[in-house]
Chain A
């Protein structure tokens, strides 16, 4: 498909259904988008010490994220340079060397080829320096580690741009202890990756799809989750990134610390007080435990979504894997982190009160998209954002506007036609 064709599939207020179901477009996306920009691979706390590692993905390519003795992070293709066997099949752990199980080639954590068994079988021209694990460019911001195949990609901080402010706000959930990943829910749905990308910036579905989640809350908390009724907004942050503020009161978790502690956190507040935390610390921790009031979508594969990281991985044109990473306070009180784990389990995961309904909705989109070859996905919803809330100069709309989706698809168009 030519670049002109890609351009014609994305209009200002709609995208063509082919974007969900054409395998040729999917193949091009893997090349032009996932191999061509910053892709989130890990959080700093996934590899907390020297020689710790985590396996991850950049698009469809398996990688190992490592931390070397000097603390530097490396993202390496998980493929032996000899005959391609994967050199690591663990999810995470500690290792000072990666040994290929097939012929025993061993690699340092920075990717350098350390040793080749029975080296005499190679002639003098063989140089281990020619065969390191392939290393991707790697940069991080506020604990979030990204990698890219594109050697001349702009610096990560520039790529994130206006999104950085929201990442900083999001990390206040560490309550001063720092953010730590606590565990992962992984699930798949038979549908295109962009359906999930859209959903993170879709407040419109919340009261409908998540009615049973809302019904399971106490009245006070149900009011907090009235996401369409609190004067929120959606703001285009550039480069396909966007933020959807659903609960403006929970933008800055260090504000309003004098407000009464919500009933649902009374038990954890008491536990913290009993452990000896002073009142101001208890308030700060409890407010952090409740999570942020916004979803920050970072194009193309990660979101800082209220209280967790939501990572998408395209598997096929009609299959996507989602990881919901629970986060808590690094070295913070056990009671606070337990409360966060229970809150996460309540909504997220394959049997959460929210996720299965999202997944079913996305599957229904993919099933429905089989019909109507000339029909379009409509992204024309939205009225003006509440005055004075979005940053001046940013394109924005009300909380249920499809502004964030339009932003992501304009970035898609830019990258697919570059």
Chain B
């Protein structure tokens, strides 16, 4: 590592400012890895207290709160959902379908002093009971820096390619 990058002043600056594009991407990859490994308890800690996790039915709903969604979770609902999925008493998630996902095609949608908003694409394959299914989605992440310098998700919107059409039961997190 070069001496230039190691200068303490750079670290301080990074920890105070909005997440960079590269930081945000690395963070999203780490989140995707967590979800494929069903590591839901640490996943809950990746969010701001007011963070919203949304999987819409309508692709262009003007306000998700006034529309029917597949998921519209605040912190309490996320915790409740993770608890349910890990409980062992939900037959659709004990065990859930196996999943393999990648997230890419990132583009910066917005950036300000405290946050970065990225668009992306998620390609997810699931497998259970001899069925292989493919659930591509457009992604939107608003990511902020937490008080300890780490990154947090403030908003995540997973718009499935066929959001308004039929799905099969989904016993894991997208």
Contacts and interface: CB of A to CB of B under 8 A. Distances in A.
Interface size class of B (residues with CB under 8 A): 20 to 34
B84 A353 contact: yes
B65 to A, nearest CB: 6
A306 B172 CA distance: 26
B116 to A, nearest CB: 27
Contact of A342 (B72, B81, B165, B171): B72
Given A342-B72, A350-B167, A367 B129 contact: yes
Given A349-B70, A356-B90, A187 B84 contact: no
Given A184-B57, A185-B57, A351 B164 contact: no
Contact of B89 (A184, A211, A321): A211
Contacts of A361: 91
Contacts of B66: 334, 337-338, 341
Given A185-B68, A187-B169, A338-B65, A209 B84 contact: no
Interface string B59-98: 0000001111111100001001101100101111100000
B121 interface: no
A354 to B, nearest CB: 10
A212 B89 contact: yes
A232 to B, nearest CB: 24
Given A357-B92, A360-B92, A186 B72 contact: no
B129 A186 contact: no
**Contact residues of A: prevailing secondary structure:** helix
B168 to A, nearest CB: 6
A45 B66 CA distance: 17
Contact of A350 (B67, B90, B164, B169): B169
Contact of B58 (A183, A338, A345, A363): A183
A338 B68 CA distance: 9
B57 A359 contact: no
B123 interface: no
Interface in A154-212: 182-190, 209, 211-212
A216 B169 contact: no
Given A187-B167, A187-B169, A215-B84, A356 B92 contact: yes
A357 B167 CA distance: 14
Contacts of B80: 216, 353
A357 B91 CA distance: 6
Interface residues of A, number: 40
A189 B71 CA distance: 19
A212 B84 contact: yes
Contacts of A350: 70, 167-170
B153 interface: no
A343 to B, nearest CB: 11
A187 B83 contact: no
Contacts of B67: 183, 341
Contacts of B58: 183
Given A183-B58, A209-B91, A216-B83, A360 B169 contact: yes
B131 interface: yes
A100 B72 CA distance: 39
Contacts of A321: 166
A157 B97 CA distance: 45
A185 B70 contact: yes
A83 interface: no
B174 to A, nearest CB: 8
Contacts of B87: 212, 215
B68 A91 contact: no
A133 interface: no
Contacts of A360: 91-92, 169, 171
Given A186-B167, A216-B80, 4 more contacts: A213-B84, A341-B67, A353-B81, A361-B91
21 contacts: A186-B167, A187-B168, A188-B166, A189-B168, A189-B169, A209-B91, A212-B87, A215-B84, A216-B83, A341-B65, A341-B68, A350-B70, A350-B168, A350-B169, A350-B170, A353-B80, A353-B84, A356-B171, A357-B90, A359-B92, A363-B129
Interface of B: 55, 57-58, 65-72, 77, 80-81, 83-84, 87, 89-93, 129, 131, 164-171, 174
